[in-house]
Amino acid sequence: MTSSQSLLFVFGLGYSALQLAAQLRPSGWQVAGTVRTAAKAAELRAEGIAAQVWTGEGPVAAPPGAHWLVTLPPGRDGCPAALAAGAAAHAAHSVTYLSTTGVYGDLNGGWAFEWSAVAPASPRAEARVLAERQWLAATGGCARLVRLPGIYGPGRSPFDRLRDGAAQRIIKPGQVFSRIHVDDIAGGLLALLKRPDAAGVFHLCDDLAAPPQDVTAHAAQLIGVPVPPDIPFAEARLSPMAASFYAECKRVANARAKAALGWRPRYPTYREGLAAILAAESAPSP
């Protein structure tokens, strides 16, 4: 019989959480959690994941003794899962909240370390800081705050944008972003599950912050399509959301995750990560 210590309950069974589930379930873990639609719940139940529908409002049943993983974006009042279930967080075996490195604001290309002060520069980042504080309060300071940079992986990579004609090479001198392959998020979260005593801030990111135009050019070369032309940032027609990302420039360090968890990114740069995505696309179906 599987103990509750081998049960992962996810508030928000999305892209990153399902990648973690795929790594856990072959070793006997049970995975449960919430989704927003009945169709998605039925799909996951058919795969052996105990999904329940929860829209983010009202009560939600999260099993005591399980490891809790929270992936939901915050609202104006903070994390909906903290508001609904925070009072019971003391009964969880561990609580891990997926946040963002956007809480540091703009560092003009400087380094964000796990011990760096937060300086949110947008309402979205301020809501993240509020959500982090809610989980720290709910757990008596024992929550694990995993701050993530840009996430990429199968189905969410420059290859997809290049193939559908949406890729752009926007040039803003000095601009760099840190990244994380979804497999490396899963690997880092698995390392945290093995260390339920670990608490505080952890960065899961690769080892090379890079200009976004370099990543797009490399991806284009890998699949043999033309490299999109350069577009100066001042001339780019970006959505407000996309423009907000270019308003911040930072390099993200992962020293604490490496030292405390023994974790290393499987894909230390975008080059290895993109090569792995392309190899998986080319692999024959089982």
Tens of pLDDT, residue by residue over 59-81, are 998 999 999 999 999 999 999 99
Q: Does residue 241 surpass a pLDDT of 90?
A: no
Q: Does residue 2 surpass a pLDDT of 60?
A: no
Domain that holds residue 41: 4-213+223-282
- Supply the mean pLDDT for the chain: 95
Position 222 scores a pLDDT of 97
Q: Which residues 6+ apart lie within 8 Å of 83 measured at CB? A: 77, 134
Confidence of residue 283 (pLDDT cuts 50, 70, 90): confident
Position 238 scores a pLDDT of 86
- Is 140 inside a domain boundary? yes
- Is 82 inside a domain boundary? yes
Q: How far, in whole angstroms, is CA 62 from its chain's centroid?
A: 21
Q: Does residue 4 surpass a pLDDT of 80?
A: no
- Is 24 inside a domain boundary? yes
Domain CATH for 171: 3.40.50.720
Position 285 scores a pLDDT of 60
Q: How many domains does the chain have?
A: 1
Q: Does residue 36 surpass a pLDDT of 70?
A: yes
Confidence of residue 1 (pLDDT cuts 50, 70, 90): very low
Sign of the Cα torsion 223, 227, 231, 232 reads: positive
Backbone angles phi, psi at 13, to 5 degrees: -80, 85
- Is 40 inside a domain boundary? yes
Give the mean pLDDT of 229-242: 89
- Is 79 inside a domain boundary? yes
- Is 192 inside a domain boundary? yes
- Is 218 inside a domain boundary? no
